[in-house]
Chains A and B, each alone.
Chain A
Amino acid sequence: MTTTELQSSSGTDRSRKRQRPIARAAAGAPSTWVVLIKIISLGVLDAVVIYAAFILALNEDWVLAAVALVAATLINWIYIRRGSLPAKYLIPGTVFLLIFQMYAIVYSGYVAFTNYGDGHIGSKEAAVEALINKSLTRVPDSPAYPMVVVEQFGQLSFLVTDPDGEALIGGEDRPLQPADADLEGDRAVAVEGYTTLDFAGVLAEQEQLAAMSVPLTDDPNDGALRTPDGSQAFVYSAKMQYDETADAFIDTATGKIYEDTGDGAFVAADGTQLMPGWKIDVGFENFVRAFTEESIRGPLIAVVLWTFVFAGFTVAATFAVGVFLALILNDWRLRFRRTFRVLVILPYAFPVFLSALIWSGMLNPQFGFINQVLFGGAQIPWLTDPILAKFSILMVSLWLGYPYMFLVATGALQSIPEELVEAAKVDGAGPWAVFRRIKLPLLMVSMAPLLIASFAFNFNNFNLIYMLTRGGPQDITTDMNVGATDILITLVYKVAFGETGGRDFGLASAFSIIIFVLVAVISVISFRRTKTLEELN
């Protein structure tokens, strides 16, 4: 769809009037092709949605299935009925927005109220199962029992040969007892009245077999046989017993009790937790932690200050350099303007990842280009001195950011009417006055929102910091894992994804919501202030 089409369909009154009769005529008698395409695409959509809803319903994802069906019905209704042209245009974009934007935002909002993270990924049932499996360990130095799986009336049993060559048979809750078995070599392979399963048969029953424990004797403390492969059994004993009625794990050696205290894990009285735990809703706990977590609170003021300095300086400096270069390269008297412009926007063409890594190489104290070539071999610790590291970050950020400002400023400058500049010159204004009183205010009208966006972006410029210094150098005399160049988002990353023993998505989501609110407030205030600029027009 071209711009002219867009403008003609939603443009001025005059063009709308012109369009309407045509649209109505077309809607009254649409061409066969259009109808065909409409029917086919809606048909494909409906088929896919019904299939998806069916699968979702099978997986008992009722909500998603209902949402898919309602959405499909809505889309059908909008496109089949006449009129409501705006809706027809808006639907594809809205669907995109819902799936790719809103879902992510709503989901991280939801995660912020859970303990989702390492150790709290799955359900409680899965955690209990994993803990039971983990607590079963092979009795040290116990022998391996050769075995076969035998079946009688649908019930599975282990036919094992004990180390003395005796054949024994037993099953789940049926302790081993002697059996009169057929031997093959010194290994029991079959017993009267039972069918011996071959490997394919074992595989068909593998879910049941993997969970089977055959008690050695009537005394459960003697341990039980389990088989990992259907041909060998080993003696296992449980380090931990799960008491289903009390919903607690008991350490069989020490008698220590681990209970579900509502923290998403089994916790002992002394605070030790069994891992894995499970995912639960924790309300505002993550937000409370975000403000009380010592590793965040301690360095918070310094880090927030530096975050503002970093974002503020980056915006101001990239704006200044970008506009300056745009002004110079906008002068028609300059030769090779195009070549210069291409060179100037070059940093914009590299991914930040790459640039930051190259810069960290160039800033190497001994072997880097900067020290070797520009400073004649001086060993300036660009990245390891706290002050210089900050300086380096700002410089690299400027290098990465100015081409964008340059591009925007170039466009904005060209839209400033030449008459205004001419008029000012006639009135006797010098170049500085022309810039200060004519060009800059007009530039700001279009660029102020971009400056705010740039500030918001740099406020969370994780890539640059992490790729260049990883937040370092760390002040190793304090007991905080915080570096001189850590901004808020890298500090949060360190705390949520490292300090707490694994990745804590709940805490990270809570932090990102707090940062979002912070940036949103700053942006709203700034936008209010830029309104006054718009009155210039």
Chain B
Amino acid sequence: MKVNRSAATAIFAGSAILALALTGCSAGGGGGQSSTSATLTVWVDANRVEEMQDIAAKFEDDKGIKVELVQKEYGDVMRNDFIQQVPAGEGPDVMVGGNDWLGQLVQNGVVAPLELGDTAANFSDVAIGAMTYDEVTYGLPVSLENIALLRNTALASSTPATWDELIAAGQAVVASGAAQYPVLVPSDPVDSDPYHLYPLQTSYGAPLFAFDADSGYDTSELLVGSEGGNAFAAKLVEWGAAGIINTSITGDIARDEFAAGKAPFMLSGPWNLPAFQEGGIDYAIEAIPQAGPDAPTPFVGVQGFFVSSQSKNAIAANEFVVNYLGSEEAQLALYEAGGRPPALNSAFEIASAENPDVGAFGEVGRTGVPMPSIPEMGAVWDNLGATQSALLNGTAGDPTEAWQAMTERLREVVGG
């Protein structure tokens, strides 16, 4: 009897397993069919899903097409699922995403070009530029994100005009005993932080690639290895030795120390503001002072919506993205969701009147350049970070040599 009961259990377990596995398969197959019906499937992150519901409901009322919002974790999972599923005829019609994904999405042919028509002029240039790859616009920009200079108003009454003066002012505050660090720049012992250092780097006239507002980045023209790059490299060694920029200060440490009122200045993005407010810091958000001969241009990351190249609802998806998500109402609703400056100019005006922090970050963002989205960026960051960290740590040897060696590696990376 015992034996038989076990056999029955085994049968049951076996069939349950197989059933599960097979339903998994068949569900995958069925998913592809839903896109042929008049339902618009939209992948959206948890932060935005609530605000999206109203916009979707309005679209349903106006156009009679159901919008199905599928909540997915924002980031690599969403991006990779999109790249895997769209070529198989599955995946959503519309997806939220970052402009830095664009290169990979275009490389895989999974996004459809998006014609914004004459509405393109209503968005900030940097936002449209970020959604453009190889001179084709692919996405509707929603929100902008960039770093700026944060000043602790209790420790410094004004922001100096240049980076050197800022260091001097910071050192004076430290000498008076009111602070511990002249300025905080988030970094990392091994990889440093090329993103936070980029405005200083561009100020020395050494941006990564040639950039044109209309045609975007020209990766064949590496400006990073220019004469200004060598000057920047030498400065990194100087700042590292003087302890102005310390690779031991990670993003978390920088945030905590500034929130504790231990520094008059910090390079920071809007993501740290809640911590500073909690720490009771009175801060001002200002443009990053000029370090070298040029104006500093921080990278601007832009989030927006992309339409799948295999969407069976191309016209409905286009209508939803351009005319609904691009509306002032929707841009403001999505701004409420994330607290980032909206990409639509009129929405940005309203948002910055409501929240000066958003306005201030947005103003700095307007001077910025879009984050490059070429698929090779991962390797570019690695090389940039390793060299900058070695320069700051004083282990790089001759700065010019190290910088030029890095330029050669970058040429290899983006060229091959």
Give residues in A with beta carbon < 8 Å to B. 1, 5, 8-9, 19, 22-23, 26-27, 30-31, 34, 37-38, 41-42, 44-45, 48-49, 51-52, 55-56, 58-59, 61, 64, 68, 71-72, 75, 79, 85, 88-89, 91-92, 95-96, 99, 118-119, 121-123, 126-127, 129-131, 133-134, 136-138, 144, 199-200, 202-203, 206-207, 209-210, 227-230, 232, 234, 275-276, 361, 364-367, 379, 381, 383-385, 469-470, 472-474, 476-481, 483, 494, 497-502
Query: Which 4 residue pairs of A and B lie closest in terms of their CB atoms, listed nearest first?
Result: A122-B87, A130-B109, A276-B109, A45-B15
Q: Which residues of A contact B310 (CB under 8 A)?
A: 126
Q: Are A477 and B402 in contact (CB under 8 A)?
A: yes
Contact of B319 among A34, A229, A367, A499 (CB under 8 A): A229
Whether B21 sits at the interface, judged by CB under 8 Å, is: yes
Q: How far is the CA of A480 from the CA of B8 in the complex (A)?
A: 60
Q: Which B residue sits closest to A89, measured CB to CB? A: B10
Pairs A–B under 8 Å by Cβ, sample size 18: A5-B6, A45-B18, A48-B22, A55-B26, A56-B25, A88-B7, A88-B11, A134-B134, A138-B115, A203-B315, A206-B313, A229-B322, A364-B253, A365-B247, A366-B248, A384-B247, A477-B401, A477-B405
- Among B29, B104, B247, B397, which residue has its beta carbon within 8 angstroms of that of A502? B104
Beyond A91-B10, A474-B390, 13 additional pairs, beta carbon < 8 A: A19-B3, A37-B8, A79-B7, A99-B17, A121-B83, A134-B109, A138-B115, A206-B315, A472-B386, A474-B387, A478-B405, A498-B378, A502-B107
Contact A23–B3 (Cβ < 8 Å): yes
**With A91-B14, A92-B14, A203-B316 as contacts: A122 and B189 at CB distance below 8 Å:** no
The docked-state distance in angstroms from the alpha carbon of A137 to that of B6 is 67
CB distance from A464 to the nearest CB of B (A): 14
Closest Cβ–Cβ distance, residue B229 to chain A (whole Å): 14
Q: Which residue of A lies closest to B409 (CB)?
A: A479
In the complex, what's the smallest C-beta–C-beta distance from B295 to chain A, in angstroms?
28
A476 touches B21 (CB 8 A): no
Q: How far is the CA of A255 from the CA of B155 in the complex (A)?
A: 63
Chain B residues with CB under 8 A of A472: 190-191, 386
Is there an interface contact between A203 and B387, defined as CB atoms closer than 8 Å?
no
A92 to B312 alpha-carbon distance, docked (Å) = 40
Interface string of B309-336 (1 = CB under 8 A from A): 1101111101100110000000000000
**Which A residues are CB-close (under 8 A) to B395?**
384-385, 473
Q: Which of B99-117 contact A (CB under 8 A)?
A: 104, 106-110, 112-115, 117
B322 touches A228 (CB 8 A): yes
* Residues of B in contact with A (beta carbons under 8 Å apart): 1-19, 21-23, 25-26, 29-30, 32, 38, 63-65, 83-84, 87-88, 104, 106-110, 112-115, 117-118, 134-136, 189-191, 246-250, 253, 309-310, 312-316, 318-319, 322-323, 374-376, 378-379, 382-383, 386-387, 389-390, 393, 395-397, 401-402, 405-406, 408-409, 412-413, 416
Chain A residues positioned under 8 Å from B12 (CB to CB): 37, 41
Complex CA distance for A415 and B9, rounded to whole angstroms: 33
Give complex CA distance A49, B16 in Å: 11
Q: Are A134 and B113 in contact (CB under 8 A)?
A: yes
A186 to chain B, nearest CB (A): 17
* Cβ-neighbour of B109 out of A55, A92, A122 (below 8 A): A122
A499–B22 Cα distance when bound, in Å, is 38
Give A199's nearest chain B residue, CB to CB. Answer: B63
User: Taking the nearest CB of chain A, how far is it from the CB of B314, in angstroms?
Assistant: 4
**Could you tell me if A49 and B22 are in contact, using CB atoms closer than 8 angstroms?**
yes
Q: Which of A121, A473, A501 contacts B375 (CB 8 A)?
A: A501
Interchain nearest-CB distance for B327 vs A (Å): 14
Nearest chain B residue, comparing its CB with the CB of A50: B22
B401 partner residues in chain A, CB cutoff 8 A:
477
A209–B319 CA distance with the chains assembled, in angstroms = 13
- Grouping DSSP codes into helix (H, G, I), strand (E, B) and loop, the A interface class, with mixed when no group exceeds half, is helix
Partner of A38 from B2, B8, B30 at Cβ < 8 Å = B8
| CB-based contact A55/B29 at 8 Å | yes
Q: Quick check: B383 and A481 within 8 Å, CB to CB?
A: yes
The answer to whether residues A494 and B382 also contact, given A122-B87, A228-B115 and a CB cut-off of 8 A, is: yes
Minimum CB distance partner of B413 in chain A = A499
Q: Report A-chain residues with C-beta under 8 Å of the C-beta of B108.
A: 118-119, 121-122, 275-276
The answer to whether B17 and A96 have CB atoms under 8 Å apart is: yes
B25 touches A64 (CB 8 A): yes
**How far is B25's CA from A64's CA once the two chains are assembled, in angstroms?**
10
CB distance from A443 to the nearest CB of B (A): 35
- On chain A, the residues within 8 Å of B1 by CB distance are 22, 26, 31
> Given A473-B190, A481-B409, A502-B375, are A364 and B4 also a contact pair (CB < 8 Å)?
no
Q: How far, in whole Å, are A67 and B191 apart by their CA atoms in the complex? A: 49
Contact indicator B107/A210 (Cβ below 8 Å):
no
Closest to B2 in A: A5
- With A and B bound together, what is the CA distance between A206 and B12 in angstroms? 48
* A79 neighbours in B (Cβ, 8 Å): 7, 11, 14
Assuming A131-B109, A202-B315, A481-B382, is B389 touching A366 (CB within 8 A)? no
The reply to whether B412 and A479 form a contact with Cβ atoms under 8 Å apart is yes
* Docked pose: A107 CA to B241 CA in angstroms: 52
Contacts A30-B4, A52-B26, A68-B22: A476 and B396 contacting too (C-beta < 8 A)?
yes
Q: Which residues of A contact B10 (CB under 8 A)?
A: 88-89, 91-92
Given A130-B109, A137-B135, A381-B393, the answer on whether A118 and B8 have CB atoms closer than 8 Å is no
A residues less than 8 Å from B117 (CB atoms): 144, 228, 232, 234
B11 touches A38 (CB 8 A): yes
A265 to B: closest C-beta gap in Å: 11
Please tell me if the beta carbons of B408 and A48 are within 8 angstroms of each other in the complex: no
When the two chains form their complex, are residues A206 and B316 in contact, meaning their CB atoms are under 8 A apart?
yes
Nearest CB in chain A: distance from B151 CB, A? 23
A136 and chain B: residue at smallest CB distance: B113
* Closest partner residue, chain B, to A211 (CB atom): B314
The complex places the Cα of A112 from the Cα of B26 at a distance, in Å, of 27
B315–A144 touching, CB < 8 Å: no
Would you call A49 and B247 a contact (CB within 8 A)?
no
Given A23-B4, A30-B4, A367-B248: A476 touches B22 (CB 8 Å cut-off): no
A275 to B136, CA, bound (A): 14
Specify which chain A residues have a CB less than 8 angstroms from the CB of B15 in the assembled complex. Answer: 41-42, 44-45, 75
Bound form: Cα–Cα A473–B18 in Å: 48
Known contacts A52-B23, A127-B109, A498-B382, A384 near B314 by CB under 8 Å: no
Within the complex, what minimum Cβ distance (angstroms) separates B29 from chain A?
Answer: 5
